[in-house]
Amino acid sequence: MRRSRRTKILATLGPSSSDPSTIEALFRAGADVFRINMSHTDHAGMRGLVTAIRTVEDAVGRPIGILADLQGPKLRLGVFSNGKIELEEGDLFHLDSDSAPGDGGRVQLPHPEILEALQPGHRLLIDDGRVKLTVEEMTSNGVSARVDVGGTISDRKGVSVPDTTLALSAMTEKDRRDLDAALEAKVDWVALSFIQRPDDLAEVRKIARGRVGVMAKIEKPQAIERLEDIIELSDALMVARGDLGVEMPVEKVPGLQKRITRAARKAGKPVVVATQMLESMITAPTPTRAEVSDVATAVFEGADAVMLSAESAAGKYPIEAVTTMDRIAYEVERDDHYMSIIAGQRSAPEATGADAIAAAARQIAETLNLSAIVCYTSSGATALRVARERPSAPLVVVSPVRTTARRLALAWGLHCVVSPDARDVDDMVDRACSVAFAEKFARPGQRLLTIAGSPFGTPGATNLLRVAYVSDDGRGGT
């Protein structure tokens, strides 16, 4: 089953899309990777979804990626004696460590790490920024803050502190339990929420030990400040525009989206653009024109994947949302300007053998107008370096490792096939041509290019490039 686009679609599963028939319909509509939100899914539910996805994978004969999205630390207010209060602009409001129910003048902030880190001038955003406070002074057991934007706040509303770096791990105890369960279920990716610094990735990498790809969600100003270091320690990134737009001025988010997308591509790591892409399709069967343009912008930027959240998880039209996103990506990628824009964002190759081979493969394929580039990989590294080049020729990945093929389902343009590794160069050429022929990327008489590492099966040894003809029987010849 071959996709007609390069940009991948990441669909979140939930109440509207948790049964096997709907999951298969979502895949056939265009979903390449499925997201399980651990904020709303228990371990039994997660295992059930993984089983359902793997059943669909067997039915369609294509590797399907699974992402477990960890909740991360949730910072919330305490409770009020009357359940809620109204704050007016200019009021002084106190946040402290006292566990007594709050009133119109104060409430508990049950996070000592926040109270210890706040300083005068720091902002507190409550309920996704609907109410905004600025710290005026420190008190004996908390802070006194001025109300800049008033409104109603109620029990346990969320709190964001965009100006404050917290001595707080991005991994909570719940996240550690969820990570263990996700590893046991053999998901392909885990996403880490609310990271502030590269060190936040270290714990999950230590636990995962390479068994799963680690995706860093960029949603805090502190992560933007350390973006290069975070990219270096992650396997993929997500532009989590929802929380990023709460903690930073919303007008800065489009520019940050471009910055993160291009930085990830330069590093050769997949990047997902997420949040509110087709938000109106939660309740409507068609998107707004602005939403269509938003998805198109991410595709033009060369994002590896675009993501649906509530649209596919809890909306009325999950399959229509995936179908719409598929159509948008398809049309954008056929626009006369698409490949020139993608080429204009290309970075110079790194001074490594793999990058040199990947850049050469793109140039040769485009110069000779080859039908496809076939990439052999065990770890997935070679395929990601070729995808980084964004070639105009289709990219076919042949891997003997099913987990690698599933993980690569997230990356731009990669059509993954699980197959035994080649025995020698001649076998490599024959297998490449047979796969390309069977998957309808090449016809007899056409040429393709094959990339591999010798000796075969050795990760990180990309050093071989071969042009081959597809013979009448679908096999190869140089």
φ, ψ for residue 195 (rounded to 5)?
A: -75, 145
Cα 159 to Cα 76: distance, rounded to the nearest angstrom: 5
Q: Are 64 and 56 in contact (CB under 8 A)?
A: yes
Quote the tokens at residue 100.
């007594």
Closest CA to 412 of 321, 342, 313, 365: 342
Q: Is 76 a catalytic residue?
A: yes
Bridge-based pairing state of the strands 236-240 and 65-69: unpaired
DSSP 184: H
SS3 state of residue 53: helix
Cα 162 to Cα 114: distance, rounded to the nearest angstrom: 11
Q: Are 303 and 8 in contact (CB under 8 A)?
A: no
Q: Is 134 a catalytic residue?
A: no
3-state secondary structure 73-95: CCCECCCECCCEEEECCCCEEEE
Cα 374 to Cα 377: distance, rounded to the nearest angstrom: 10
SS3 state of residue 240: strand
Q: Is 217 a catalytic residue?
A: yes
Bond prior to 162 in cis (omega within 30° of 0)? no
The Cα-based distances of 119 to 64, 110, 115, 136 in angstroms read 47, 17, 9, 8
Cα 160 to Cα 166: distance, rounded to the nearest angstrom: 11
The Cα-based distances of 425 to 100, 320, 453, 464 in angstroms read 73, 45, 10, 9
Quote the tokens at residue 243.
């929380």
Instruction: Name the catalytic one among 47, 76, 174, 259.
Output: 76
Quote the tokens at residue 21.
């028939």
Distance of CA 185 to the CA centre of its chain: 19
Quote the tokens at residue 87.
């704050």
SS3 state of residue 112: helix
Q: Is 275 a catalytic residue?
A: yes
Instruction: Name the catalytic one among 275, 377, 403, 450.
Output: 275
* Residue 282 CB-density burial (10 A; 0-12 exposed, 13-18 middle, 19+ buried): buried
DSSP 176: H
Instruction: Name the catalytic one among 6, 132, 217, 385.
Output: 217
Instruction: Name the catalytic one among 3, 6, 8, 35.
Output: 35
Residues catalogued as catalytic: 35, 76, 217, 275
